[in-house]
Chains A and B, each alone.
Chain A
Amino acid sequence: MNVILSTIVWAPAFFALVVMFLPERDEEQRSRVRTVALAGAGLSFFVNTFFAIMGQIGLGQGGGLSSAYQESRTWFWNFFFQAHYDLAADGMTLTLLVVTTVVFGCAIFHSWKIRERVRLYVILVLLLETAVNGVLCSADFVLFAVFWGMLLVPMYLLIRVWGGAGARRAAAWFMGFQAVAFVLIIATIAIILIEAGTRSSDMATDLQSFSRTAETVGFWLSFAGFAIAMAIFPVHTWMLEVQAKASAGVATILSGTMLMLGAYGMMRISLVVFPVPAHYYSFAITGLAVVGACWGSFGMLRQDDLRRFIAYLNVAQMSLVLLAIGTQTSVALVGAILLLAAHGLASAMLTLISGGIEERTRTGSIRALGGLVAQAPRLAGFWLFAALSVIGIPALAGFTADFMVFAGSFPVHRIATVLVMGTVIVSTAGLLWVAHRVFFGPVRDQFARVRDVTLLDLTVLIPLVAAVLLFGIRAGAVVPIIANGVLEITTRIAGG
């Protein structure tokens, strides 16, 4: 019996169950709790990478979920539709799973900095990892909704309980927006189940019998739901609050994994299930991407808080993904998946480093910071590395991603692509300007005793660096894998 994907999805939850019964009275016991949690996240990561490399999670001919590696059992059938416990992994899924398992591993490593309620923290992080991996692997609409819903409460609690001042408001914003997104996603799935006429919630089923109205309504409901989750303009405000007020580890999970789920859902459901309206409204989507890119990149320049700066960077980068979704060419979509991976890793690094800076200097104000490179050269090095990946320097993950998004988008929407490319220049300037303000310039007296990265910091950051380099240097190997998954989307859009 094949249980590779089930292991990737459920291993963290199983270890969360084990952790639940471990005591945490002293530091030694808390360390044990973290170690067991790390084993759960690590198992998920190793199974994913090992079996992907070994070719056990094979990518079938024709691409997409229908030909991908699958685990399938019927969940319930005594209803007007059948639901299945269907897990599948195509090229898109496998690539993003690498990112999520790495980021969650780093988040668990980061829990060594958490001093209070460690057990609950790691349990919630592990449940969140199960939910995120489950969303990525779901090949059934109901299962997709269940895993998506499973994200809400753990993330809300992580923001609310471990966040700093203003965490309550941030958590409320998160829950409010995500609840709306979830309702929209449920409504979309209800439309699919009722209107498609297949009496099955299997994602791989060919859904071609929609009425024009149902298709249009379904598309816009799903688009709105996933747009909120992706935090694109103008529904990005919740993410600004969460990124600024959540603890560094939780903000890392948000930047590194949760935003990508919105984009993934948009590609997997909005484009695949509703290809006709997706194509028909591509101009509107592209327009939204241009506005979002401008809003994000110019917004970055106005920020004084490091975390809010990263939040606006997220808005700008997600707009690039939206541009690719609006363009709907295979090159742009492959670039978008690669960009999700690259940005997830780089943004996670930037968030962790900004958390480290706040921890050392007791401030996240860009204006108050300066000259840190003298005391913390390696910290500055990591920041610059992540920034360069976002900017798109060759040999780093962002380069291939940006190149493919623009190369794929330009032939279809030339003006929009040029405008978005212009905003990338602004983002680049912003990233370099912040690096200059925070790390260079005269040394401030109050930061004279700031220490550089510790062994724990290195443990957290090095896997991310390795992944960024892997996706950059081995882009030639990764792109065909992603293309295998994207093939299904482009085939549907082309009317196949």
Chain B
Amino acid sequence: MLADFGHAMTLALLPEAMLAGTAAVSVAVALLRPGHRPDIHRWIACIGLVASLAACGLILLGLRGERSGVAITVWNGGFVMDSFALFIAILACIVGLLTCLISDAPVRAIPTRTGAYYPLVLVTTAAVEAIGAQREMVTFVVALTLMLVCLVAIGALVKTDPRGGVSSFEHLIEAGAGLTAVLYGVALLYGVTGTSTLGSVASTLKNAPGVVAIGVALIVLGLCASLGIFPLRRWVGRVATSVPASTAGFIVTMSMIGGAAALARVAVSGLGSGVGPWKWLVSIIAALALGHAALSALRETSVARLIGHLVSAQAAMLLLGLLAFALGSGGFPAYGITAFLGALAVSAVATVAAFGVLAMLQAAGIGDAIVGLRGLSHRSAPAALLLSIAIATLAGVPPLAGFLSRVLLVTSAADAGYGWLAIVAAVATGLTVIAAAQFIALIYREAGDEVPFTLGATPVASRIVAGAACFLGVALAVLIQPLLAVATAGAGPLR
């Protein structure tokens, strides 16, 4: 660890600083040369994201030999660049990079706003990175607020019809409600503990268990909005249907990563085993959210909302990993956080892939109704194949990576003593697999008068990136070990 505070501070904030810096450059270019080559902002954003990845690599170098998994700690441990924070930062950068590469078509529709769109993408990514690194209430609330405001703004920015504006407003209301709950919860915990450090909550539990329980409940419920799970998940469907697909993918994925990282930091790093209420509350929310999302997926009529339900189900599955953060049977670790991080990475890639394919269909003029996709395989075989793989990965259809990640989450939860929740999760996975099978059967059936189309309306680079993201869902099933190795390293500081 670095002893000098100035150097430590600089290095700890370097990934975020890279993103903020390039965002500032992009804004400056937009202000100084308005309307000049809108595409340049995309490449500036890509450079910023790659630079942030490089900064993460630099911190990784400093992590070598650190058995604790902590590279840099600043602000009295309130902001820490450990292997968990790096995992989240790298994942966020990859999602940001994929989004920049596949969001060509929707951004073309708003050439005058690209100077705002890409900087917002960068600031959102920086906010998610900060959420992953925080271990203190103020940083946590600020980063979460920044992320949610940026995501709502992105949704509002790319709107091409009034529905987009309405959905962004509704997203703002729901995210705001969640944020308010988190803020009240944090305020209550601060009132009880007298410190903004989450780690000290456990030691003061005996002083005011009721207040702590209410505070924890408010935080957990508030973070449901970010995760996009029941009871605050209506925005996911609205954003999915009203915002251009590639942008919707970014909003949903980043919100999920940020919410999951925040919950992991608050619940595992902060509260841990000492504060009991969060575990039973999270287990109940997970069960309800899984059931709600899986049943909703079964009777969905819109493909975008179907993807939204599947993402919600996957986000709820992540909670199983969080619950299994401690020891399992026989006194051995349950590896819940490893499963959590592995599944988070798979979910993020699968979500971006699914929305990326949807974006290609939107660019080709194909509607959103599931019935309208009947016989899709006859109109465009590549589109049908990619959409099938993306949906199957998200739904957890064997043998794809989505299924394996669910197996890891379910077994770790069962190992940690949440057998009933593991059964609920397995049943919910069965339901999402049925929903996916119904959908895939529909796109491979004949409608009778199909008009062929191509994906030519989508730029080649976007097609390649979206297709590669789809096939990553297949490849990760075979190459799960490297992902698990990285996830295990990332989980180290949280165990």
A residues with CB within 8 A of B:
20, 74-81, 116-117, 120, 142, 145-150, 152-153, 156-157, 160-161, 171, 175-176, 179-180, 182-183, 186-187, 190-191, 193-195, 197, 199
Contacts and interface: CB of A to CB of B under 8 A. Distances in A.
Given A120-B444, A153-B397, A153-B436, 14 more contacts: A78-B485, A79-B335, A79-B412, A80-B328, A80-B332, A117-B446, A145-B398, A146-B398, A146-B477, A152-B398, A176-B434, A186-B426, A194-B415, A197-B329
A76 B407 CA distance: 13
B173 to A, nearest CB: 37
A153 B426 contact: no
Given A175-B437, A180-B430, A195 B329 contact: yes
Nearest to B396: A149
Contacts of B230: none
Interface of B: 328-330, 332-335, 338-339, 377, 385, 392, 397-399, 403-404, 407-408, 410-412, 414-415, 422-423, 426-427, 429-431, 433-434, 436-437, 440-441, 444-446, 477, 480-481, 484-485, 487-488
B480 A157 contact: no
Chain B CB within 10 Å — which of A146, A180, A190, A191 has the most?
A190
Given A183-B430, A186-B407, A79 B339 contact: yes
Contact of B411 (A153, A179, A190): A190
Given A77-B481, A183-B427, A194-B411, A146 B399 contact: yes
Nearest to A185: B426
25 contacts: A20-B385, A78-B338, A80-B335, A120-B377, A120-B444, A142-B407, A145-B407, A146-B403, A147-B399, A150-B398, A150-B399, A152-B397, A153-B440, A156-B437, A157-B444, A161-B444, A175-B437, A179-B433, A180-B430, A182-B430, A187-B422, A187-B423, A190-B422, A191-B414, A194-B411
B126 to A, nearest CB: 29
A146 B480 CA distance: 13
Given A197-B329, A199-B332, A79 B484 contact: yes
A224 to B, nearest CB: 13
A194 B328 contact: yes
A396 to B, nearest CB: 37
Contacts of A81: 411
Nearest to B413: A190
Contacts of A117: 377, 444, 446
B481 A75 contact: yes
Contacts of A194: 328-329, 411, 414-415
A145 B429 CA distance: 14
Task: Classify the secondary structure of A's interface with B.
Answer: helix
A146 B397 CA distance: 9
Contacts of B446: 116-117
Chain B CB within 10 Å — which of A79, A81, A147, A190 has the most?
A79
A206 to B, nearest CB: 17
Task: Classify the secondary structure of B's interface with A.
Answer: helix
Given A78-B487, A146-B399, A175 B480 contact: no
Contacts of A195: 329
A160 B339 contact: no
A190 B410 CA distance: 8
A179 B434 contact: yes
A197 B15 CA distance: 42
B290 to A, nearest CB: 13
Instruction: Rank and list the top 9 A-B pairs by shortest CB-CB distance, nearest first.
Output: A149-B398, A179-B430, A78-B484, A76-B481, A78-B488, A160-B441, A146-B399, A80-B335, A183-B426
Nearest to A80: B335
Contacts of A191: 414
A80 B481 CA distance: 13
Given A75-B480, A199-B332, A171 B398 contact: no
A176 B441 CA distance: 15
A149 B403 contact: yes
A79 B434 contact: no
Contact of A175 (B411, B427, B434, B488): B434
A74 B403 CA distance: 19
A175 B426 CA distance: 15
B414 A190 contact: yes
Contacts of B333: 80
A28 to B, nearest CB: 19
A147 B398 CA distance: 8
Nearest to A147: B399
Contacts of B332: 80, 199
A149 B385 CA distance: 19
A131 B403 CA distance: 15
B433 A152 contact: yes
Contacts of B385: 20
Contacts of B434: 175-176, 179
B392 A153 contact: yes
Nearest to B336: A80
Nearest to A119: B381
Nearest to B378: A117
Contacts of B329: 194-195, 197
Nearest to A221: B423
Contacts of B477: 146
A197 to B, nearest CB: 6
B415 A80 contact: yes
A21 to B, nearest CB: 10
A78 B337 CA distance: 12
Chain A CB within 10 Å — which of B333, B377, B404 has the most?
B404
Nearest to B406: A186
Contacts of B429: 183
B480 A76 contact: yes
Contacts of A152: 397-398, 433, 437
B301 to A, nearest CB: 17
